[in-house]
Amino acid sequence: MTNVVSNLWFAKEAREAVDFYISLVPNSAITRITTLPAESPSGPPGSVQVIEFMLGNQQFMALEAGPLDPFNHAFSIMIQCDSQEEIDRLWSGILDNGGEPEQCGWIRDRWGLCWQIAPRVLGDMVAHSDRERAKRATEAMLGMIKLDIAELERAFHG
């Protein structure tokens, strides 16, 4: 069976980042850590570490191999939440660990990785067949930093 795994390249502190991520997201764990035993473009034997981990039951790989390309919005991790309490917990966790809030439920962690902390119901609101309701929810979301389920529902229901 083919397996799809998202790879995150860290210049440094990959293990610290992964430990933080798995502490934040339920059903998460490190599954294997490997140090490359050969010289690579990133350095001598032992200088590159590969951390395989599960984040909310999804597979990821973190590679600590020195500077290359910084994280940007072209790749983000979205966490769909069922409650405002879960949104608040995740948001505060990232923010309190050196994160920077951005518009529309986006937040960048201290390693530069972008996250979207969003209510699960938002996707249904935006895709709703009543396009006026969808527009109101979308406009409400566009005016927020951290997403607020109650405010989105008020806008959606008019």
Mean pLDDT of the chain: 97
For residue 128, name the pLDDT band (cuts at 50, 70, 90).
Answer: very high
Q: How far apart are CA 42 and CA 124, in angstroms?
A: 44
**pTM: predicted TM-score of the whole model, two decimal places:** 0.93
Q: Alpha helix locations (H) across the chain?
A: 14-24, 84-96, 120-127, 131-142, 149-157
For the chain, list the domains and their CATH numbers: 1-69 (3.30.720.100), 70-158 (3.10.180.10)
State yes or no: pLDDT of 154 exceeds 90: yes
State mean pLDDT over 98-102. 98
**9-18, 34-43, 100-109, range with the lowest pLDDT:** 34-43
Mean pLDDT calculated for residue range 127-138:
98
Model pLDDT, residue 1: 84
| Residue 1: Cβ within 10 Å count | 2
Q: What is the pLDDT of residue 138?
A: 98
Per-residue DSSP letter, 56: T
Locate 22 and state its tokens: 């798995």
